[in-house]
Amino acid sequence: MLTPKLQDAFNAQINAEFWSAYLYLSMATHFDNEGLNGIANWFKIQFKEEQAHAEIFMNYVNSRGGRVLLAPIAGVDTTWKSVLDAFEATLSHEQKVTALINNLYAEAEAAKDYASRSRLDWFINEQVEEEETARSLVDRLKLIGDDKLALYMLDQELAARVYNVPSPLANNA
């Protein structure tokens, strides 16, 4: 059974995950509109991943006898100056999500809720990957600069990204 404080923290994280999904969907539509369909695809996959993260948290809260309470999702930005600007925003956002996950882990630790800590281990590892990917794309975009051909090649590369069901949901699929 989750403590009330931990249940509230998980519900806040569910909202944050849905907000993240909404942000990435906004980025996807922005770049679709800009004709950068591969970059839009990358963000569409991020959108799906964030929805899946929310689902994992919801499943977990329910499995522990808690109650999922969905709250309104705050608005997100709808335009970015450049691809680099969007990926810098992505990196910054993923760093904030990492801090949220770390705070949730600390709350689970304070409650001596070892099951929650175990579930959160997957998210901690996921956040390392999310930050690393975003940082890599920022670095590559800085190298690209104003080179349109290089941007086109990156767009083509990101078009090949596919969605993979996260392992905590794989058994539920």
Instruction: Give the pLDDT of the chain (173 residues) as one tens digit per residue.
Output: 899 999 999 999 999 999 999 999 999 999 999 999 999 999 999 999 999 999 999 999 999 999 999 999 999 999 999 999 999 999 999 999 999 999 999 999 999 999 999 999 999 999 999 999 999 999 999 999 999 999 999 999 999 999 999 999 987 64
Alpha carbon distance 120, 98 (integer Å): 11
Establish if 171 belongs to a structural domain.
no
pLDDT value, residue 2: 94
Tokens of 95: 């760093």
- Closest by CA position to 159, among listed 72, 70, 3, 35: 35
Alpha carbon distance 100, 3 (integer Å): 18
Alpha carbon distance 62, 146 (integer Å): 49
Residue 15 is part of which domain span? Answer: 4-69+80-166
Establish if 159 belongs to a structural domain.
yes
Give the chain's domain count. 1
CATH classification at residue 32? 1.20.1260.10
Establish if 49 belongs to a structural domain.
yes
Contact 94, 127 (CB under 8 A): yes
Tell me which H or E stretch contains 131. helix 114-144
Question: Tell me, what amino acid is at 48?
Answer: K
- The verdict on pTM exceeding 0.85 is yes
Establish if 21 belongs to a structural domain.
yes
pLDDT value, residue 85: 98
pLDDT value, residue 171: 72
* Residue environment code for 70-86, b if the CB has 16+ CB neighbours within 10 A, otherwise e: eeeeeeeeeebeebbeb
DSSP letter string, 6-45: HHHHHHHHHHHHHHHHHHHHHHHHHHHHTT-HHHHHHHHH
Establish if 37 belongs to a structural domain.
yes
Establish if 74 belongs to a structural domain.
no
Strands in the chain per DSSP E: none
